[in-house]
Amino acid sequence: MMQDSEGAFKQKPIRTLALFVILVLAIVGFLVSVSDTISADRKLPPSTATTHDRALRGKIISADGYTLGRSSKKYQATIFTQSINPDKKDLLIKLFAIYSSNDEKTLRKIIKKSKGYTVLAEDIDASTAIRLKSLAYKLRRLRVFKSVRNSQGVDILYGLDIIENGEERSFPLKDTLSPVLGYVRNKDDGKYTEVKGVKGLERSYEKYLNSNNNGFVKGMRDVSSTIIRNKNSIVKVRKDGMDVHLNIPLTLQRRVELVLDEMKKLIKAKEIIAGVMDSRTGKVIALASSERYDPDNIRKKDVYSLNPKFSEFLYEPGSTMKPITMSIAMEAGKVTPAKWFDTNNGRLKLSKRFTIKDDHPEESMTAEDIIIHSSNIGITKIAWMLSPKILYKGYKKFGFGLATGIDLSRELVGKVRSQKELKSTINKASQAYGYGMMASFAQLWKAYSAFDNHGIAVTPRITAYLQDKSAKKYLSRPTVGDMRTVSKKTANQMKKILIKVVTDGTGKAAIYPGLTIGGKTGTSHIVEKRRYIDKYNSSFFGFVNDDKGSRYTIGVLVMRLHKGHKHFASQSAVPTFKKIVTNMIELEYLKPDLSVIQKQEMEAQEKKRQKIAQQKQQQRTREIKAKLKRERQEIKRKQKAQRLKEKRNATQKRKVNSQQSTPRSKPKRRPTPQEAVPDLF
């Protein structure tokens, strides 16, 4: 027994050692196998794989938080056809059709015609891509794919791959704020589709919206072609482009757009553009056009609308230049608002072919009245008092012939006549009232802000700030800053005159009780083929202030009005201005002085009461006059009847009296024959 037990005791360690050796050999075998697999995998071309994670373009967001432009990734689904298990092909096609909403017949044709890698679907959105990635995992679990041996003799399990292949830009609110937003164009290099801004804010903020800081994951691949994430893999997190936050709230912007749509239809204009900005900061709170388009669906008829006319359309500004010319003269000390000028009864002949006329002819006017009643002759004589150098530099100080710095994609600077050209009296005259020069809406808009800002013309700023994905904000400085145009004294003098243009002159249609409104109208002929035609551009640039401190500069430009279709600015641009102001009041951007409104309402009611009383008095007077007239007529009728009666009585009496006073004559005796015919023989 002892021997048996000792033998068993001796055999037990031997067995344990054998098991340990077997286990060690198994582990070594497994490690060698893994090592061989990894070694074989590293021999694959390429030995490493890279998954790209491209940076997304930033958003464009309104002041009230609406997303106006955004980007999303596009994907494509690829498959290695030789890896499809023939018995599971129908299952693959059916499931892929369900998950991707594609047609089964089309998928079957693609797989049948293709060998090797093939694209089953393109332009897949992010949500569909997520579903298909889930499907790819399920297909492997269902053993839809089989391993395929590559050229190095290694079996690779290919499957359904969802690959990022591009970026797509979308504009959720369709045509709202176009063409300010602009549009984009796709750039396809065969592997990835990038988005590039072409016009508007999409172009001007391209370098901020599109960061190009792409992310990726780089590392060794496993047998299923999936990148192995370990300490040897390289990961770079993508950095998306900045978001562009605007000063423009969508609520006001949309209202202004609807006003322009309404007025365009009413006055039959080609296009109307308008802008509203803070007179002190240049903060743009509305910039709209009646000609808009959907950046997601640009059609052939939209070509005219693609360029933002605010900075890329030049025209002869007409009479809106008169306050500029007069401000230059006042700044030079040549003119005061009260100075009188001979205005030649509205007609001044400069040459055989050139005669200046006024719509409201007067023998003479003060400088103030020249602006209020828009006298071409008066402003001509003011311009003649200035040297070419003073006049030229004055226009430049107001920004004409220069960029405004508005943050749009492109800006045309227009043209003012040179000092040499301004030596001509005719050139001086025509430019003084806005002909023979070219300017943009943005230039007039910026220039008029000076009259509401103590002589400083502010740069219109559409964008408030840029923001990265960590919520850090950045200010984008304008390329052109604010400009000192004239002194504070001159600017305030002109401001008072522009207010009188609205209260007493051509801008009366802009009056709103309880607000201070000033501005200047301009109506200019359009030139085609070097001659003026019966089409016009009309404009009104001015300001509106309330007693709470709100100050806004507003510009309206109405393009290509036919003669007779309310082509004067007072009938087209000014009513448009008034409608915009009304909407600003409704949205509480402006708060009219209620005491003024109440006073005017009381005055209006008193006038109405007086008018009614006057009408009643006039009615009573008419009734009394009518009664008196009837009485007089009755008296006259009676008097006439009495006279006729008396006349008849008198006539009758005379007849009676004549009969009584005249004796009856004796009857004549007939002569005898002997007496009648004497016998002569």
Q: Are residues 341 and 373 in the same domain?
A: yes
Q: Is residue 42 part of a domain?
A: no
Examine the domain organization and report whether 601 and 568 are in the same domain. Answer: no
Q: Is residue 209 part of a domain?
A: yes
Residues 117, 57 share a domain: yes
520 and 610 inside one domain: no
Contact between residue 305 and residue 272 where contact means Cβ atoms under 8 Å apart: no
> Are 87 and 55 in a shared domain?
yes
The DSSP secondary structure of 120-181, one letter per residue, reads EEEEE-HHHHHHHHHHHHHHHHTT-B-EEE-TTS-EEE---EEEEEEEEEE-TTTTTTTTTS
Please say whether the beta carbons of 323 and 371 come within 8 A: yes
- Beta-ladder partners of 347: 357
* Mean pLDDT of all residues in 592-620: 80
Taking CA 54 as the corner, what is the angle to CA 170 and CA 198, rounded to the nearest 5 degrees? 45
Nearest to 328 by CA among 496, 124, 206, 487: 487
Residue 226's pLDDT is 63
In a domain, 637, yes or no: no
Longest alpha-carbon distance in the chain: 239
To the question of pTM greater than 0.85 for the whole model, the response is: no
Q: Residue 448 maps to which CATH number?
A: 3.40.710.10
pLDDT of residue 681: 34
Q: How far is CA 515 from CA 545, 575, 594, in A?
A: 6, 16, 10
Q: What pLDDT does residue 23 have?
A: 66
Give per-residue pLDDT as tens, 524-560.
989 888 788 889 999 999 999 999 999 999 999 999 9
Cα–Cα distances in Å, from 458 out to 56, 281, 475, 477? Answer: 34, 6, 17, 13
What is the distance of C-alpha 479 from the center of its chain? 22
Residue 466 shares a structural domain with residue 603: no
Query: Same domain, yes or no, for 365 and 341?
Result: yes
Residues β-bridged to residue 210: none
Q: What is the pLDDT of residues 107-163, one digit of tens each?
A: 988 888 888 888 898 888 888 999 998 898 888 888 888 877 766 666 666 788 888
Mean pLDDT lowest among 11-20, 436-445, 448-457, 499-508: 11-20
- Cα–Cα distance measured from residue 447 to residue 394, given in angstroms and rounded to the nearest whole number: 12
The pLDDT tens digits for 58-107 are 999 999 999 999 999 899 998 888 888 888 889 989 999 999 888 888 99
Q: Which domain holds residue 116?
A: 49-216+240-246
Measured over the CA atoms of residue 620, residue 625, residue 630 and residue 632, the dihedral's sign is positive
Residue 379 lies in a domain: yes
Cβ–Cβ < 8 Å for 246, 61 = yes
Enumerate residues 6+ apart whose C-beta is below 8 A from 385.
Answer: 329, 334, 335
Q: Is 2 inside a domain boundary? A: no
- pLDDT tens by residue, 658-678: 776 655 555 555 555 555 444
pLDDT digits (tens, 9 = 90+) for 391-416: 999 999 999 999 999 999 999 999 99
- The amino acid at residue 186 is N
Does residue 366 share a domain with residue 321? Answer: yes
**225 has pLDDT over 70:** no
Distance CA 144, CA 121 (A): 18
Tell me how many domains the chain contains.
3
Neighbours of 156 (CB within 10 A): 18
Does the structure show a pLDDT above 50 at 45?
no
Q: Structure tokens of 293?
A: 């388009």
Residue 664 lies in a domain: no
Q: What is the CATH number of the domain that holds 178?
A: 3.90.1310.10
Three-state SS at 236:
strand
- Judge if 329 and 203 occupy the same domain: no
Residue 72 lies inside a defined structural domain of this protein: yes
The mean pLDDT of the chain is: 86
Residue 395 domain-assigned? yes
Task: Encode pLDDT of 158-202 as tens digits.
Answer: 788 888 888 999 999 999 999 999 999 998 877 888 899 999 999
